[in-house]
Amino acid sequence: MHPNPALRKRSKDDHLAFARARGFGVLAVSASDGPLVSHVPFLLNENATQADLHLVRSNPICRLGRADAIIAVSGPDGYVSPDWYGMSDQVPTWNYVAVHIRGTLNPLPQSAMRDMLARQSAAYEMQLLPKSPWTLDKMSDDALDRMLRMIVPFRLTISDVQGTWKLGQNKSRNARFAAAKALHLGIGQELTRLSEMMKDAGDE
């Protein structure tokens, strides 16, 4: 997390809403021979005290059992050229949004996997409406049983949530808007969304 307090004024609720909407992040844990990471979809419970996820059985994280862990959730990001500010004596930077969810990762009984998969897929499929949602009953019992044996359910019990929304809050409104308007010329991910967020950053 970036240490500048100006970039960390958003509330915990904002961080969790952002993480819930993304639903995907990088799970990181420490192991005896170094850090392990895995890219995972996850599902926050209603009061955002837990995040459910699953890993393929061959993932080395599955062999750790209980572990301290972080899910890093990334949002839009992009390079900002100092030329775009319309100000002298500026330096290049990279704007981004990121939320870190910290807690304790525990394996769940294998019997929990079917319900977890149903809940996760339902949450994602709801975002595709009016498409008819995919459900587990669209799979044959044999195919579903084979797939369920290949994945392992986990739950992260959340102890801390931190976020950085680095959107040019330390610049004047004119400089921030000028950079936001030029952002589409640059490099990064979801630059249109990042530009919108930069324009709104002055309201924080």
Encoded tokens for 88? 């002298």
Instruction: Give the chain's mean pLDDT.
Output: 94
pTM for the model stands at 0.90
Query: What residue spans define the domains of the chain?
Result: 5-195
Residue 204: what pLDDT? 52
Architecture of domain 5-195: Roll (2.30)
Q: How confident is the model at residue 203 (pLDDT cuts 50, 70, 90)?
A: low
Tens digits of residue pLDDT in 148-169: 999 999 999 999 999 999 999 9
Report how far residue 136's alpha carbon sits from residue 107's, in angstroms, rounded to the nearest whole number.
22
